[in-house]
Structure 1
Amino acid sequence: MARQITSGQDLQDDHVGVRRRQWSRELPDVNTVGMAILGRARWITLKVRPSIEAVFAKYGLDTGEFDVLATLLRSGPPYRLRPTELFQQLMITSGGLTPRLARLEKAGLVERPPSESDGRSLPVQLTPLGRNQAEAAFRADMALEADLLTCLDEHEKEDLGRLLAKLAVALDP
């Protein structure tokens, strides 16, 4: 759980704030606002990653395997995608997808039924067990992430989400 910050605490006293002050003494002409945003975003990601990975591990999954199951679940019934659709949505290579699928198939979480429309293609489909695992892991992950954000009020969460979305869209090729 995130700790609460009192209004009297200086929010610039985190590790990035300290580094920015050091840089402003050494190179006062350099704008470090990128560090204020991207440095903190990186630190936050690295800080919460072990907790999120632990949630997935409780369900016998690593992050990459969860991503496959979650992508299939988000696709809606019949929870089936072609491998090309999967690796494009996951932003990985087909070579990165193959071992994930092998592990998930071995665990009984996905299956590769023949395609009704293309005899050369084997779509990837969630099994009932895979759907249950994906849903349970997602619910647990979202509960953890909500808990990690308790230091922000609802307006701050909305504002931060909106600003991060604006940055993400601007950086998307």
Structure 2
Amino acid sequence: MEHGEPLDRVARIQAEWRRERPDIDTTPQGVIGRLHRLADRLGEELRLVYDRHGLGEGEFDVLCALRRAGEPYERAPGELAEHTMVTTGAMTKRIDRLERAGLVTRRRSADDQRGRIVALTRPGRELVDRAFTDHMRNERRLLDLLTPAEAESLEALLTAWLSRMDGPRTPGDA
């Protein structure tokens, strides 16, 4: 932070901790605290688009996963759960809501009569196409708060950090 710049919320919290607990290094809070605040703010901004289309974030994710599947825009519920990183129980609730809204259908799998297949309906595809277009426009607006070089650097840093976080875990890892 430049000399003389006002402290942001995270810097104020760090300063208070340094005063109260000078024995603890609070520098990680500068990155983690700001990432946490940024994630919250980004979530708020992204939800505006979902709300405008009458969708929750989870429903938007399911519709996008189906749309990305390509013709005939269908996947098994377990596959949808993998593509959206939620539990199968949460996925069932999302699919139920989408089915009631007429945006998806469920049918038995031709390969496995016990299995189910979830498919986009025409209204579901039309909605997700509109919502995704708005979503990408919104993400562009948010990313344009950075310079292209900053955005490129940030993406590289986040990719490396996430890769290391998702890497192999040993039993002693916290």
TM class, shorter-chain normalised?
0.7 to 0.9
Q: Identity percentage over the alignment?
A: 37
The Cα RMSD (Å) is: 2.1
Q: Does 1:30 align with 2:17?
A: no
Q: Distance in 1 between matches of 2:93 and 2:69?
A: 21
Letter in 2 for 1:169: S
The higher relative CO (CA closer than 8 Å, separation ≥ 6) is in 1
Residue deviations 1:51-101 (CA, integer Å, cap 9, x gap)? 321211111111111111111112222221111111122222221111111
How much does 1:28 deviate?
3.2
TM-score, normalising length from structure 2? 0.85
* 1:131-157 deviations in Å (ceiling 9; x for gaps): 221121122122112212332100100
Consecutive unaligned residues in structure 1, runs of 5 or more: 1-6
Match of residue 97 from structure 2: 103
1:68 matched to 2:68? The reply is no
Q: TM-score, normalised by structure 1?
A: 0.85
Aligned to 1:113: 107
Judge which range, 39-48 or 22-31, deviates more: 22-31
Where in structure 2 are there 5+ consecutive unaligned residues? 168-174
Letter of the 2:50 counterpart: F
Distance 1:169 1:9, change over 3 A: farther
Please report how far the alpha carbon of residue 9 of structure 1 lies from its aligned counterpart in structure 2 after TM superposition.
8.1
Q: What do residues 11-30 of structure 1 show as CA deviations (whole Å, max 9, x unaligned)?
A: x7221122223323333342
Instruction: Say how many residue pairs are matched.
Output: 166
Counterpart for residue 42 of structure 1: 36
What CA distance in whole angstroms lies between the structure 1 residues aligned with 2:3 and 2:101? 51
